[in-house]
């Protein structure tokens, strides 16, 4: 698996070796950052929730993010994330959290961390975890006023409504779909 853009473009990272965990495909990662626009990540605070291998966080860091936070409740995922950051001579010592999304958002709220972008890739069998995280991020004050939240899920999944944000774009890429959320006006 390779980073698709930015200063780490072409560098290899290790995918998760569990068939139940599916890393975001290169085409989807490229499309996400294309939709956000050139230079979008520069200077931004980005959260990669249900981080898996950490590849989405590394894509954002490669594209100039000020800081990326990786959140995963699985200890093996956290070990892999740490390893992938090390492969790129980067550190995630202070930005890798072995917590559930809800626990992490409570921590970030207390710490005053405000995200410009949150990327959520919950297990495809539990897309509601992403919606719960979206609403928690809103009510806990963890989102910047113009923040974007992106949820990766299966195209055929009927997503529950977010109480706090509305969908502004959906794009299908093979067996995955990206749903973009913005604050309701």
N residues, the chain? 185
Q: Exposure pattern of 108-141 as b/e (b: 16+ CB <10 Å)? A: bbeeebebbbbbbbbeeeebebbbbbbbbbbeee
Residue 118 lies in a domain: yes
* Residue closest to 21 by CA, chosen among 78, 63, 60, 67: 78
State the Cα torsion 63-52-127-133 to the nearest 10°.
-70
Strands 96-97 and 143-153: unpaired
Q: What is the pLDDT of residue 20?
A: 67
- The CATH number covering residue 157 comes to 3.40.50.150
d(CA 101, CA 132): 9
Total-model pTM: 0.94
Q: Which domain range does residue 92 map to?
A: 6-183
Tens-digit pLDDT profile for residues 21-63: 777 888 999 999 999 999 999 999 999 999 999 999 999 999 9
How many independent structural domains does the chain possess? 1
Residue 1 lies in a domain: no
Tens-digit pLDDT profile for residues 137-163: 999 999 999 999 999 999 988 887 888
Q: What is the pLDDT of residue 163?
A: 84
Residue 185 has pLDDT above 60, yes or no: no
Residue 52 lies in a domain: yes
Residue 119 has pLDDT above 80, yes or no: yes
Residue 49 lies in a domain: yes
Residue 75 lies in a domain: yes
């Amino acid at each position: 698996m390779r980073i698709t853009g930015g200063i780490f473009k072409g560098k290899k990272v290790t995918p998760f070796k569990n068939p139940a965990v599916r890393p975001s495909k290169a085409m989807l990662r490229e499309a996400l950052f294309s939709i956000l626009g050139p230079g979008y990540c520069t200077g931004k605070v980005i959260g990669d929730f249900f981080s898996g291998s950490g590849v989405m966080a590394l894509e954002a860091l490669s594209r100039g993010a000020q800081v990326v936070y990786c959140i995963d409740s699985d200890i093996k995922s956290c070990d892999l994330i740490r390893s992938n950051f090390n492969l790129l001579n980067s550190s995630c010592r202070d930005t890798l959290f072995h917590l559930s999304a809800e626990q992490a958002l409570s921590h970030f709220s207390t710490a005053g961390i405000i995200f410009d972008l949150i990327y959520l890739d919950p297990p495809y069998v539990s897309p509601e975890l992403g919606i719960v995280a979206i609403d928690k991020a809103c009510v806990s004050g963890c989102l910047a006023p113009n923040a974007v939240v992106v949820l990766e899920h299966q195209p055929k999944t009927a997503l529950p409504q977010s109480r706090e944000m509305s969908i502004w774009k959906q794009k299908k890429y093979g067996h995955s779909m990206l749903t973009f959320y913005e604050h309701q006006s």
